[in-house]
Structure 1
Amino acid sequence: MGRTADDLPLRLARAMLWASFGILVYIRAFSALDNGAGPLGVLLPMASYPPLIALSLWCWSPAVRYRLFAAVVLLYFLPFPFAGQSWDWMPWTVAAAALCALPTRIAWPLFVLSVAAAGALVLLPGFDAYPGQEFQAGVGYMIVTADDGLIVFGLSRLVMAVTRLHQTREELARTALSRERLRLDGELRRLLGGKLHAIAFRMRTAARQEPEEARRSLREGIELARRTLAEVRGTAGAYRADAPGKISPRIESPRLARRVLLAVLVIQCLLVLKILAYVRPGDWPAFALAAVLLVVIVILQMLPQSRAVLVAQSLLILLPLPVVPDAWDRLLSVFTGKLLLNVRPPRSWAIVGVVLGGHLAWFLHRIDRNYLFIDDLPAALANFGGHIMIMWLVYCLGRLSGLLTVLERTRHELAEAAVRRERARIAGDLHDILGYSLSAVALKGEVAEHLLGADPARARTQIASLGSLVDRALVELGSITGDRVELRLGVEIDAAREVLADAGIEAVVRVETGPLPSAVDTALATVLREGVTNVLRHSQARTCEIAVSGTAGGVRLRLVNDGAAVREGSERPERRGTGLDSIAARTSGRVTAGHRAEDSFEVLAEFPAPAEPGGGTEGFHPVAGTPALPHLRPPA
């Protein structure tokens, strides 16, 4: 199966994490070369990378996570017997694996322990620290361990969050849909259920009464049916018009991204102070001023990130740079990352390319000048890689936060759209299905009332059938919100014959097809039901022809009635009612409706048949009971 545009956030997030691991491998490899490591000292430390990558890229069960963590720890110690300490031995992989694999209450203490161990190891015999600089070297090792561990942990957790949201982006829609169905089910039962029971009671009472009393009960039932029908139509219109409420409040940027970025910035500030203390020993005024400026930079990072905050922070990073370039350039990577994040490409890439090019030139210029131990090419490239990593981290955290926000907003938009579609579907079913049943109750009740004086026996038969008709309406009411209404063409044809006969309309029916797929059967039944309702409401018909026939690619329903003449001086409407429009909004196929020769009116519905028996065609929703057509237009 090919990848779609929907997979882009997930692929982009994983690509960011892969790129981050690539940069870390680059940094650690050149750092090992700077320490004098041979091929084993460069390659063996990478043995702990695969289980760490597995921890950071996939969600595992606790047992698998613990095994991967154990593998990272064991493989971390692998280079010591072969390369001694001539490799980049900082335990950042152990620190990152602890945060990725273990419960929070255990992970953070182990992370702190790993960071502290990185600083303490320089005090052990056999570890060659710079003479007289053991403390600063230990602090440097702790900073590297904490920095890299937080980078891997922060990016991996954000990528996992993107993955989870991407994989579950429709779950909120399903939950909201179920909640809305339950709510509307209760609302409709309170609004209409009692009235339908009252109609059924009056019709059954009329069936047991003498003619005069039966006439009174019938009139009460008919009037209540008409009022309920008007309420059904009003409720359907309100459901179509009313927009659902917001599923959730405004979404904010993930806290994890903000915290990781803040922590990395604090670490970089500490590194600046460490370097400043080395290059300017005893210059306490400069050290104090730098500390104040760094505190302000950190405070600005904690504020909401507006344009003004970004400009102020950028100025505090850039202005001191010419004065103390050996220390302050650690913050230039933060500025570059924010530049990459906030300026649109390709301008952002061009500007960043110029900045990085100048940065690399500065590092190469410091080679062999004994500037901060950058005395050879591997050291310069390793330090340059560290700046690229911080820049990339700032950019990735911002982009991943944006992806999470977009995915979360998409989840809520999908939920709101699902609720809107469900309200429109229920509105259509109310109008097309329940409205038809109530119209039939009112019509048959009027026929029964007229027959009470002329043909009491036949009137009793009509009245007796009214109770079952209302019972069917009650069943349909319960099925509408449950998405279980399923009409059948054969049943609707029989019902149409009966209700048209009760109205004194001769029905001529021709069915020239065999069994139809469920979706098509339901679609035709719904169109027939709405068409017959319009015949009863809008015409003075004496005959009505119903024909169902096969076509080259599907099936066609044709319904033609007479008695549709328009009074002189009035416009001839091509469509009547909103039921067919409602159906047309919710299925696939085609419907035309309009006047024909003399005083006839024709409804023509055509649906494609699914390729496989019983299969569904896109756009048919048989269980919904009201498939719809994409457009309803008058014939040419």
Structure 2
Amino acid sequence: MARTADDLPLRLAGGMLWASFGILVYIRTMSGVWRDATPLALLLTMASYPPLIAILARRWRPAVRHGLLSALVLLYLLPFLVVGTGWDWMPWTVAAGVLCVLPARPAWPLFALVLAATGTAAALLGYGVYDSIWFMIVTADDGLIVFSLAALLGTARRLHDTRGELARLALVRERLRLDGELRNVLGGKLRAIAFRMRKAAREEPVDARHDIREGVGLARRTLAEVRATAGAYRATTIAEPPARIESPRLARFVLLAVLLIQCVLVLINLYYVDEAGPTTLAWALLGLIGIVILQVLPQNRATFVLQGLLFLLPLAAIPGSWDRVLSFFTGKVLLTVRPPRSWALAGVVLAGHLAWLLYEAATRGYPLPNVLASFGGHVMLAWLVYSLGRLTGLITVLDRARHELAQAAVRRERTRVARDLHDVLGFSLSAVALKGELAERLLETDPDRARTELAALVALVERALVELESIAGDRVELRLAAELDAAREVLTAAGIEAAAQVETGPLPAEVDTAVATALRETVTNVLRHSQARTCEMTISGTDGLVRLRVVNDGSLTETEPGRHGSGLGSIAQRTGGRLAVARHPGGRFEVIAEFGSDPAGLGGDPDGVHPVAGSQLGDG
């Protein structure tokens, strides 16, 4: 599948995970070199990396994931069989694999079991209390880092891949709501009109006249209600989605857990390595408590400045231990300060930390691999804070984008329904009113024809009911032949001499529907906005175009511009060709609509919401 610009944030997020994994591998390698591991031991240490990489690379089926976890555990144990304990054997890959593969309920107890087994093994192998705690803490730290970044990346990918699902669900809910609303508001009125016309067809002229007038009056009131409802749907605003959570719970949990781990390491180092006295330990404990409290509070500029003071001020007194939490602040600098200043400041801090480590190595005789591993740890923690913050931001943006897409889908659906109410039901109700009035006039002069007109009216209202049911479901399909017949009947009923001429063969369904929609709207405008006595309708096809031409002789005067209706402008926005209107001497008004005869040229709505015409079109 081709990559797009939309995938770039996810590729950058994936890069954060793999960069973190690479830093951890570097740290563990340097630690192994410091412990005098042989080249074979260093190579065997990497045996458990490929299964973990495979687990992180994609979302496998459960059976495959469990198989990879089993392989990871076996390959982790392999160096014990070959080189004993002469390698950096902290089981961070096992801890990460357990969290990444298993459900939360069994994963966290097993994670704790791995940590307990690590400390117990270190004690049985003769390591002291300090080293045993160190092994447990580093295993927990590394496992949490890999798991948190992988989990947040997975969440971001799911949100990205399913960004249209919420819009589709919102669209379905809105269609069901509108369908019920339209049936309740308009369906009952249409059935009442049909009842009146059926009753009138069975009655004597005197009684029939009353029912016809009631039905025509109801049709006109319903037509006004249709227009009002359409206008309300267009004007309705959609409330903004509620503010989303600032950061996922997992990110906050992991950041706090890693910070607590670093605080514990500071206190352990002060006690075991620096042999600090009670006063120093007390001040350090108070400072660390303050840092943790500020981390729990909502993050803003004030908490950032206070944390900076608590991170930086104690360095002069206890630099050898406090620098472990300083790396946490380095990551916050990357997140809070705008680039490129953030990267410059972080570079200065990292360079200073490396210089200090090299100075200590020279004065205290620390092995260089140990110094490089410690520096890698500083970089890892700073990168973790930055990566979790960026992934949190990406998830927030993706989640908000999903809600915005859903809003847009609902807004487009309301606009489409408003448009279809105007285009479809507006014509049908206008026709009912006109043909009802004609039937009433015929009651005295030609009762048999009046009953024929009333029977046709009932069929017209039933057709309007079907169209109403189709509007919310987006299933309305008009056909040109039927629309031509209906147009002739309605124009004749209104006392307008109608003539129609079709000079094309069968048209593709999409084009046929588009032309039928334009014809319906044009005839509706003739009825509503003219004093026509004649109306000519011509459909012709030339040079890959289908042309609809409607001419009437009752155009309103030039002092009433724009009174030919807004529906044609709406159709011009969503048909596949050009629309032109012109006034001619003698009050003649002409409408010409052209459509491409190739249905492939008719575009669809990008959200899958199609108008009545089944096509999307701009002015030519």
For the criterion TM > 0.5, the same-fold answer is: yes
Shift of the 518–249 alpha-carbon distance from structure 1 to 2, 3 Å rule, reads farther
5+ long unaligned stretches in structure 2: none
Looking at structure 1, the residues matched to 449 and 489 of structure 2 have their Cα atoms a distance apart, in angstroms, of 14
Return the offset for 1:197. Answer: 0.7
How many percent of aligned residue pairs carry the same amino acid? 63
Partners of 1:565 and 1:19 lie apart in 2 by: 72
Quickly say closer, same or farther: Cα 1:413–1:355, change in 2 above 3 A. Answer: same
Deviates more, 1:92-101 or 1:455-464: 455-464
CA shift digits 1:251-270 (9 cap, x unpaired): 43211100011000100111
- Structure 2 residue 545 is matched with structure 1 residue 554: yes
In structure 1, the partner of 2:603 is: 617
Encode CA deviations 1:489-532: one digit per residue, 9 max, x unaligned. Answer: 22211211222222232223232332322222211111110100
Larger displacement relative to structure 2 (498-507 or 321-330): 498-507
Q: Of residues 451, 469, 472 in structure 2, which corresponds to 1:460?
A: 451
Q: CA deviation at 1:240?
A: 0.4
Find the counterpart in structure 1 of residue 116 from structure 2: 116
Determine the structure 1 residue equivalent to 2:572: 584
**Distance apart, 1:179 and its partner CA:** 0.7
Cα separation, partners in 2 of 1:221 and 1:346, compared to 1, 3 Å: same
CA distance in 2, matches of 1:313, 1:430: 60
Q: Is the 8 A contact 2:604 2:616 kept in 1?
A: no
Taking the aligned partners of 1:96 and 1:406, their CA distance within structure 2 comes to 27
Cα distance in 2, alignment partners of residues 532 and 342 from structure 1: 63
Structure 1 window deviating more from structure 2 (386-395 vs 595-604): it is 595-604
Matched, 1:606 2:594: yes
Partner of 2:401: 410
Report the counterpart of residue 277 of structure 2 in structure 1: 283
The residue identity in structure 2 corresponding to 1:267 is: I
**Is the CA contact 1:590–1:629 (under 8 Å) kept in the aligned structure 2?**
no
CA RMSD of aligned residues (A): 2.0
Further displaced range: 435-444 or 361-370: 361-370
Q: Between Structure 1 and Structure 2, which shows a larger proportion of helix residues?
A: 2
Q: Distance in 1 between matches of 2:330 and 2:512?
A: 63
CA distance in 2 between partners of 1:170 and 1:473 (Å): 33
- Counterpart CA distance in 1 for 2:350 and 2:320 is 16
User: Does structure 1 conserve the Cα–Cα contact (< 8 Å) formed by 2:510 and 2:615?
Assistant: no
Aligned to 2:497: 506
- Whether the aligned pair in 2 keeps the contact of 1:505 and 1:544 (CA below 8 Å) is yes
Which residue is equivalent to 2:29? 29
Cα distance 1:368–1:184, how it changes in 2: closer, same or farther (>3 A)?
same
**Superimposed CA distance per residue, residues 582-616 of structure 1 (whole angstroms, 9 cap, x where no aligned partner):** 3334445332234233311122222234465xx85
Partner residue of 1:421 out of 406, 409, 412 = 412
Deviation at 1:307, TM superposition (A): 1.3
TM-score (normalised: structure 1): 0.93
Q: Summarize the alignment of residues 483-494 of structure 1 with structure 2, pairs less than 5 Å apart.
A: 483-494=474-485
Structure 1 range deviating more: 400-409 or 335-344: 335-344
Q: Distance in 2 between matches of 1:435 and 1:214?
A: 25
Q: Is 617-626 or 475-484 further displaced after alignment? A: 617-626
The CA deviation string for residues 322-344 of structure 1, in whole angstroms up to 9 with x for no partner, is 22110111112111111111122
1:195 is aligned to 189
Counterparts of 1:174 and 1:611 in 2: how far apart (Å)? Answer: 26
Confirm or deny that 1:431 pairs with 2:416: no
The residue that corresponds to 2:58 in the other structure is 58
The answer to whether the 8 A contact 1:575-1:593 is kept is no
Residues of 2 paired with 1:383 and 1:92: CA distance? Answer: 17
- Residue range with higher mean Cα deviation, 256-265 or 301-310: 301-310
CA deviation vs aligned residue, 1:463-496 (integer Å, no higher than 9, x gap): 1111111000111111110111111122211211
Letter in 2 for 1:625: V
Q: Secondary structure, in 3 states, of the residue corresponding to 2:316? A: coil
State the 1:17 CA deviation: 0.9
Equivalent position of 1:563 in the other structure:
554
1:575–1:594 contact (8 Å) kept in structure 2: no
- Superposed, which structure 2 residues align to 1:39-438 within 5 Å? 39-125=39-125, 129=127, 134-246=128-240, 248=242, 250-370=244-364, 375-438=366-429
Q: Report the CA distance shift for 1:141/1:176 in structure 2 as closer, same or farther (over 3 A).
A: same
SS of the aligned residue for 1:511 comes to strand
Structure 1 range deviating more: 601-610 or 580-589: 580-589
Shift in Å, 1:271: 0.8
Structure 2 contact 287–310 (Cα < 8 Å) conserved: yes
The offset of 1:630, in angstroms, is 4.9
1:573 aligned partner: 561
Alpha-carbon separation, structure 1, partners of 2:39 and 2:542: 76
Which piece of structure 1 moves more, 522-531 or 43-52?
A: 43-52
2:204 maps to a residue whose letter is: E
The code of the aligned residue for 2:484 comes to: I
- 1:595 maps to which of 574, 583, 593: 583
Structure 1 residue aligned with 2:12: 12
Instruction: Check 1:399–1:553 CA distance in 2 against 1; reply closer, same or farther (3 A cut).
Output: farther
Distance 1:102 1:480, change over 3 A: same
**Runs of 5+ in structure 1 lacking a partner?**
none
Counterpart of 1:283 in structure 2: which amino acid?
G
SS in 1 for 2:59: coil
Give the superposition deviation at 1:91.
0.5
Which residue number corresponds to residue 525 of structure 1?
Answer: 516
Instruction: Return the letter of the residue paired with 2:147.
Output: F
Q: Which whole-Å deviations, capped at 9, do the CAs of 1:186-225 have from their partners, x for residues lacking one?
A: 1111111111111000001110111111111100000000
Give the SS at the match of 1:319.
Answer: helix
Assess if the C-alpha contact under 8 Å between 1:486 and 1:624 holds in 2.
no
2:432/2:461 contact within 8 Å kept: yes
Q: What SS does the aligned partner of 2:550 have?
A: strand
Query: 1:631 offset after TM fit, Å?
Result: 5.0
- Distance, in Å, in 2 between the alignment partners of 1:98 and 1:383 is 26
- Cα shift at 1:446: 0.9
Q: Structure 1 residues 422 and 271, CA, compared in 2 at 3 Å: closer, same or farther? A: same
Q: Cα offset for 1:355?
A: 1.7
Offset, 1:116: 1.7
AA partner of residue 353 (structure 1): G
* Structure 2 length-normalised TM: 0.96
Query: How far off its partner does 1:409 sit?
Result: 0.4
| Contact 2:308 2:329 (8 Å CA) reproduced | yes
* Alpha-carbon offset, residue 556 of structure 1: 2.3
For the 8 Å contact 1:591–1:629, the answer to whether it is kept is: no
Matches of 2:430 and 2:443, distance apart in 1? 20
Per the TM alignment, residue 453 of structure 1 is displaced from its structure 2 partner at its CA by: 1.9
Q: Deviations over 1:25-52 (max 9, x none)?
A: 1111111111112222222222211221
Counterpart contact for 1:337–1:390, Cα < 8 Å: yes
For this pair of structures, how many residues does the alignment match?
A: 619
2:594 is paired with a residue whose SS is strand
Offset of residue 572 of structure 1:
4.3
Retained in 1: the 8 A contact 2:604–2:610? no
- Segment of structure 1 superposing worse, 57-66 or 16-25: 57-66
